[in-house]
Amino acid sequence: MKKTGPDRPRPPGIPTISPAKSLPKCPTGIQGLDEITSGGLPRGRPTLVCGGAGCGKTLLAAEFLVRGAMTFREPGVLMSFEETEPELRANVASLGFDLPGLEKAKMILLEHVHIERSEIHETGEYDLEGLFVRLNYAIDSIGAKRVVLDTLEALFAGIPNEAILRAELRRLFRWLKDKGVTTVITAERGREQLTRHGLEEYVSDCVILLDHRINDQIATRHLRVVKYRGAMHGTNEFPFLIGDGGLSVLPITSLGLNHGVSNERIATGIPRLDAMLGGKGFFRGSSILLTGTPGTGKTIVATNFAQAAARRGERVLFFSFEESPAQIIRNMHSIGLRLAPLVKRGLLRFHSARPSLCGLEMHLATMFREIATFKPDVVIIDPITSLMDSGTNSETKGMITRLIDYLKGCQITSLFTSLTQAGHVMQQSEAAMSSLMDAWLLLQDFEGNGERNRVFYVLKARGMAHSNQIREFLISERGIDIVDAYIGASGVLTGSARAAQDSLEKAARLASQLEADQLKREVERKRAALERQISALRADYETEARELRRIAEQVGTQTRLLSDERTELGRLRQADAAVAPRGQKLNRPKRRTGTL
């Protein structure tokens, strides 16, 4: 989970298999099996598949043929010693394979070998040339590259002379190798040896063991490659699943920590949370753990994340182990999340299952299959703890590691919710899981003042600056709101305590606001009074000025009249025209009130 730069050398201890050196492989096309065997079964050689009743031997063998025919265009012969052709067709049809169609296309040939002990009487020496001839004829008639012999051990019940039979089996395997066909031989699991009749003695190239175990009333199928001559293979037991699309083996051999990383950041759908994570959200392809006690809103955060991703056009796969899809959609609708349209557009997909439906391996196998088919950008598992409860302690961590590694390898962002008991913030399971996680958000209850409030903080976020603050987490019909919790002398205040603190502050603010307003009004009043005074003064002045102008005019007119009169008089007296004296403007106003 450490970031690996492109220049970082490959971690030591991981051998590389160069294709040139290894044996030619025949891909089975079975999901996961080719990864375990690094490429498939040994080409042109026989492989023994053994296991108890109901392990899926025949189905594995049949799928090997069907996939071979459908995917790799290699015709195959299925020689069955137990089931008749119609039975085989019906059984394989349950996996969704169209055997009759492939038979018609000459890609698959079914041959039932009927052996009935009660009909057979031994009368001397013989060999199994009849069987060879039939097999040869079947192979040649469709040019088969793959052969399945489904339970060869039926021969042991039908052929009385075991010495002859063993000699002939040895010859048969030799002959199959010479023929160059890739063969799968199924056999019943024996008590002390791999097979009941020791067939492993003859088939020494590749042996696959299937197992069906019951643990705590939950049955799980396992597959193990016991032996693979000349090739590296995963030696562990891998759980596998028989579903409606065939077999799938949980393959993810997490050998190394060398997946690529992305620098892209994706938003969480909660703006405040993004802000807490350096303003951008999580890294794409990172794994996020969301722990919380019951009712702290884990699913809501997860669904928010899902909605945000789907709205960006990313594909989201939501595994729910507590609620049915319809229930999640209804519940999330109440807080303003509209999921139904996203489901309809195929961007959001729910997969709900009861944790107790099957074992952990089975759940994981189903999940791998879902992920492989849906190809999501974001995977949400709600909650992972119920999955962990369904397995034993030792295997769960390995399983979760595999799942996380797989998701990281595919650059899928994963969000896991984890339920913790009240009072125990961190449980053993989380401590174990946390090392696998890139980011860890903690949702917590805060009790006090007769109420219960939710707080929320980022416990860790690898590779990004993140807030260390505790935030209060509110859920309303508009969705999630993250608000600052009040942190003061009396500690962290949330809920109504925070609200009370808020209103106290608000009252103080209001008081000072009022005071300020009053002052403002006072100033305003003063200014208005002054204004009024000024306009009164101006009005006074205006009247006075007008009066003065009128007087001046009057005086002027009188003077003119007077001078006119005098001129007239002078003219009458024959006097010289005299210029009117200048000193007439004696009545100038003395006081000059400046303009305002």
Partner 1 sequence: MKAAKSKPARPARAQSPPVAAPPRQRLRLYVAGATERSRRAILRARRLCDTELRGNYDLQVIDVYQQPILARNGQIVATPTLVREFPKPVVRLIGNLTKSAGLFVGLGWNSKD
Q: Catalytic positions, please?
A: 82, 322
Burial class (CB in 10 A: 0-12, 13-18, 19+), 433: buried
CB of 119 to partner 1, least distance (A): 5
Least Å from the CB of residue 262 to partner 1: 59
Nearer to partner 1, 117 or 550 (CB): 117
> In which residue are the tokens 């063991």 written?
209
Amino acid identity, residue 76?
A: G
Binders of partner 1 among residues 134 to 163 (CB under 8 A) are 134, 136-138, 155, 158-159
Q: Which is nearer to partner 1, 92 or 155 (CB)?
A: 155
**Which CB, 168 or 377, lies closer to partner 1?**
168
Crossing angle of helices 129-142 and 162-179, in 10° steps, is: 20
140 Cα distance to chain centroid: 50
CA separation for the pair 247, 95 (Å, rounded) = 8
Residues 202-261 that bind partner 1 (CB under 8 A): none
Cβ closest to partner 1, residue 127 vs residue 540: 127
The distance of closest approach from Cβ of residue 174 to partner 1 in the complex, given in angstroms and rounded to an integer, is: 17
Find the binding residues for partner 1 in span 54-113 (CB under 8 A): 111, 113
Q: Maximum distance among all alpha carbons in the chain?
A: 191
Cα-trace Rg, the chain: 46
Exposure on the CB side of residue 258, measured as CA atoms within 13 A = 12
Task: Considering the complex, state which of residue 160 and residue 256 has its C-beta at the smaller distance from partner 1.
Answer: 160
| Contacts with partner 1, 111-130, as mask; x by CB under 8 A | x-xxx---xxxxxxxxxxxx
CA distances from 64 to 67, 174, 342, 364 (A): 5, 21, 37, 23
Within 8 A by CB and 6+ apart from 241, the residues are 221, 247, 248, 249, 250, 362, 365, 366, 369
Residue (81 or 456) nearer to partner 1, CB: 81
* Least distance in angstroms from the C-beta of 437 to partner 1: 60
Shortest Cβ 113–partner 1 spacing (Å): 6
Q: Say if strands 265-266 and 246-249 run parallel, antiparallel, or are unpaired.
A: unpaired
- To partner 1, the closest distance from the beta carbon of 105 in angstroms equals 20
Nearer to partner 1, 113 or 380 (CB): 113
How far apart are CB 172 and partner 1 at their closest, in Å?
11
Distance CA 72, CA 232 (A): 23
Query: Which residues within the stretch 451-470 sit at the binding site for partner 1 (CB under 8 A)?
Result: none
Interface positions, 545-574, toward partner 1 (CB under 8 A): none
- How many residues touch partner 1 under the rule CB under 8 A: the total is 25
The angle that helices 57-71 and 85-93 make with each other, rounded to 10 degrees, is 80
3-class DSSP string for 152-217: CCHHHHHCCCHHHHHHHHHHHHHHHHHHCCEEEEEEEECCCCCECCCHHHCCCCEEEEEEEEEECC
Site for partner 1 in 296-335 (CB under 8 A): none
**Residue from 14, 17, 133, 562 in contact with partner 1 (CB under 8 A):** 133
Token pair recorded at residue 418 = 């984890």
- Six-digit token pair at 591? 């006081």
Q: How far is the CB of 387 from partner 1 (least distance, A)?
A: 50
Q: At a CB cut-off of 8 Å and minimum separation 6, what does 506 contact?
A: none
CB of 143 vs partner 1, minimal distance in Å: 15
For residue 250, what are the contacts with CB-CB under 8 A and spacing of at least 6?
Answer: 32, 238, 239, 240, 241, 361, 364, 365, 368, 402
Which DSSP helix (H) or strand (E) runs through 107?
Answer: none
- Applying the rule CB under 8 A, the residues between 156 and 195 that interact with partner 1 are 158-159
The upper half-sphere exposure of residue 459, i.e. CA atoms within 13 Å in the direction of its Cβ, equals 20
Angstrom distance (rounded) from CA 176 to CA 274: 63
Shortest distance (Å) from residue 152 CB to partner 1:
11
CA dist 222 and 239 (Å) reads: 4
Closer CB to partner 1, 142 or 425, in the complex: 142
Q: Which of 60, 61, 131, 342 binds partner 1 (CB under 8 A)?
A: 131
With respect to partner 1, which residue has the nearer C-beta, 126 or 587? Answer: 126
Alpha helix positions (H), 375-494: 384-389, 393-409, 428-434
Nearer Cβ to partner 1 (131/415): 131
- 533 lies in the binding site for partner 1 (CB under 8 A): no
* Beta partners for residue 447, in sequence order: 452
Interface residues with partner 1 (CB under 8 A) are 111, 113-115, 119-131, 133-134, 136-138, 155, 158-159
